Structure 1
Amino acid sequence: MVRKSPRTLLSAVRHAFPSLEDPEQAIGEGKISVDGSVNRNAQSAVGAGSQISLAQPSILRGEAKLRAALERFEVPVEGRVALDVGAAAGGFTKVLLERGARLVYAVDAGHGQLLGSLRQDPRVRNLEATNLGTLDKKLVPDPIELFTLDLSYLSLADAAPQLERVGISDHADLVALVKPMFELHLSRPPEDAASQQRALELAREGIAKAGWEVVSWMDSPVTGARGAVEFLVHATRGG
C-alpha cells in the first residue's frame, strides 16, 4: 500500500492562490490562516478539508501602481469596459471602478481572493478560478476597451496573444505590470539593472508582436514582493 504524504501549508497555499507572488513570505508574515487560525509554518501538514484564507491589506499594493500608470499615461477609464487579468484581491479592479469604469471583468486563476466589497459590486464580473487561456466570448461577451494585467508565473510575451480570445474594441488601451523574474523565467527577481531592463524590453517586444503599439513605460512607484523592481507599460490598439 502506498501512502500519500500529507500536503504542506506551502503547497496548499500555492494551489489555493496561484497568483500569489511569494506564498512563503505571505505565510511567514502571518497573512495565511488555516481554519481561522494564523499559521506561520510553511512546512506544517494541512488536511485536505482545511479552509485556507489570505488576509488582505486595507490598502492594496496594486492600487498605487495602477493609479500612477493611469495618471502618467493619461489612460481614459470613465464609461469603459475593462478586463483585469490577474485581479487577485482586486487592487487594479478597485482603481478602475473609482475612475468610472462601466464594467470590470476580474479574472484570476485563484479563488477566494477578491475583496467582498468588489464581489458584491454590480459593476464587477468575478471570473475567479479562470485561466487567461480559457477565456472566450461567452465568458466575456463585451468588447474590451481597457486591459490591465498583473500576472505571476506567465510572461507578457506569452500572455498578450491570448487576449485575442475575447473581443477587443476598435480603440483599446492596455496597461501591464512587468515583473522581470517572470519575463526572464527566473526563480527569483534579478537584482542587476541590465537584466531588469532586458525583461522590460522582452515585455514590450512581446506586446508589440501581439498587435499592440507600445507607446510608453515607467518604473513602478511601488516595488514587488521582497523589494523586486517592476515596470508598467502602456500600449494601444486602433487609436
Structure 2
Amino acid sequence: MKKERVDILLVEQGLYDSVEKAKRAIMAGIILTDKNERIDTAGEKIPVTTQLKRKGEKLRYVSRGGLKLEKAMAIFDVSIKDKIMLDIGSSTGGFTDAALQHGAKLSYALDVGTNQLSWKLRQDPRVVVMEQTNFRNSRLEDFKEGQPNLVSIDVSFISLRIILPVLKEIVSVRGDILALIKPQFEANRKDVGEKGIVHDPIIHQEVLTRMIQFSLEQGYDVEALNYSPITGGQGNIEFLAHLKWNNKLKGSLNKTVNIDETVILAHESF
C-alpha cells in the first residue's frame, strides 16, 4: 500500500494549508490517527488511507473530502436521497461516505488507483468498488447496478475537460453533477506557481470562466458555483460547480452564477 509523510498527508487532507503548519501541529502533539494513535514525527510515512485528525476532533466521514460534498449538498440544494451516485476519483471515499450518510441508495467508488478506499466502505453493500479504472475509458454498460443520476468529481492530475465529454454518455438525463474545479490542474502551466500552487485570483477567474464555457459547450447546464470549504493539496483554493445534464447541444447558465464574487469570497476565507 502506498505510504506518505504525515506532514504532507495533513495538507492533502485539508487540515493545514502548509507543511510547516502541519509540522508545528505534530510537534505540539495534537495530531492523531483515526485509531487515536498520536503522531510524533513529521517525516514518518504511513498508509495514505490513514485519516488524521486534531486531538478532540471527531471525524464525520472517512476523509475530510466528505466536507466538500456536504457543503455542495447544502448550498446547491441537491437531494441525495435514494440516488445512485458515481464518485469519480473516490480515493479513500469521503464523498461516497457523505452521500451514503445523507441517504444515497448506492455509490460507484471509481478511482484509477488501488487500495485507497476505506475498509468501512469496502464492506458496505451499497458501495460498488471500481478501482484501477480510468474513467476516460468508461461506458454506461460498466455500471451494472443502475445508471448514475448523481455524480461527484474530485480528480487530480487530469482536467475536467477529459471527464465531462465521457460523462454525458453515462449520467442519466436530469442528473446532477457536483464537480470540484482545481485550478492547479486546469490553469496553463506558466500560471502554476512553486509546489503546484495557484495564488493569483485573476488566474482563478480565468480558470472558472474557461471551465464554465467548456461545460456549456458540452451541453451541461451550469446551475451554481461556490468555493470548497477546505483547501486541496499544498493549500490550493478549489471551487465547487453544480452542473446538470439535460441532453442538450448547448447548456444554459444560471444567472445567479457570479465568478468574480465567488473568487473574492474564496480569497477572503483562506
Instruction: Tell me, yes or no, whether TM beats 0.5.
Output: yes
Structure 2 counterpart of 1:73, from 73, 76, 79: 76
Q: What letter corresponds to residue 109 of structure 1 in structure 2?
A: V
Q: Which runs of 5+ in 1 are unaligned?
A: 1-11, 15-20, 32-37, 43-51
Q: CA deviation at 1:162?
A: 1.4
- Cα deviation digits, residues 190-235 of structure 1 (max 9, x gap): 1110001211222222222222100110011111112111100001
Does the CA-based 8 Å contact 1:90-1:115 persist in structure 2?
yes
Paired residues for 1:154-233 under 5 Å: 154-166=158-170, 168-186=171-189, 188-233=196-241
Paired residues for 1:25-64 under 5 Å: 40=43, 53-57=47-51, 59=59, 60-64=63-67
Query: In the aligned structure 2, how far is the partner of 1:154 from the partner of 1:13?
Result: 22
Q: CA deviation at 1:159?
A: 1.3
Does the CA-based 8 Å contact 1:160-1:206 persist in structure 2?
no
Tell me which residue corresponds to 2:117: 114
- Cα deviation digits, residues 30-80 of structure 1 (max 9, x gap): 99xxxxxx99489xxxxxxxxx93242154121111101110000111011
Does the CA-based 8 Å contact 1:81-1:144 persist in structure 2?
yes
Query: In the aligned structure 1, how far is the partner of 2:103 from the partner of 2:202?
Result: 38
Structure 1 counterpart of 2:243, from 213, 232, 235: 235
Q: CA deviation at 1:170?
A: 2.2
Does the CA-based 8 Å contact 1:105-1:124 persist in structure 2?
yes
Structure 2 counterpart of 1:129, from 119, 129, 132: 132
Q: Does the residue aligned with 1:133 lie in a helix, a strand or coil?
A: helix
Query: In the aligned structure 2, how far is the partner of 1:146 from the partner of 1:153?
Result: 23
After TM superposition, the score normalised by the length of structure 1 is: 0.76
Tell me which residue corresponds to 2:15: none
Say what the alpha-carbon RMSD is for the aligned residues. 2.7
Query: What is the total number of aligned residue pairs between the two structures?
Result: 203
| Distance 1:13-1:202 versus aligned 2 partners, 3 A rule | farther
Q: Which runs of 5+ in 2 are unaligned?
A: 5-10, 13-18, 27-32, 34-40, 53-58, 248-270
Tell me which residue corresponds to 2:265: none
Q: Does the residue aligned with 2:104 lie in a helix, a strand or coil?
A: coil
Query: In the aligned structure 2, how far is the partner of 1:221 from the partner of 1:206?
Result: 24
| Distance 1:74-1:120 versus aligned 2 partners, 3 A rule | same
Query: In the aligned structure 2, how far is the partner of 1:185 from the partner of 1:159?
Result: 18
| Distance 1:39-1:138 versus aligned 2 partners, 3 A rule | farther
Q: CA deviation at 1:137?
A: 2.6
Q: Does the residue aligned with 2:157 lie in a helix, a strand or coil?
A: coil
Q: What letter corresponds to residue 123 of structure 1 in structure 2?
A: R
Paired residues for 1:4-23 under 5 Å: none
Q: CA deviation at 1:185?
A: 4.7
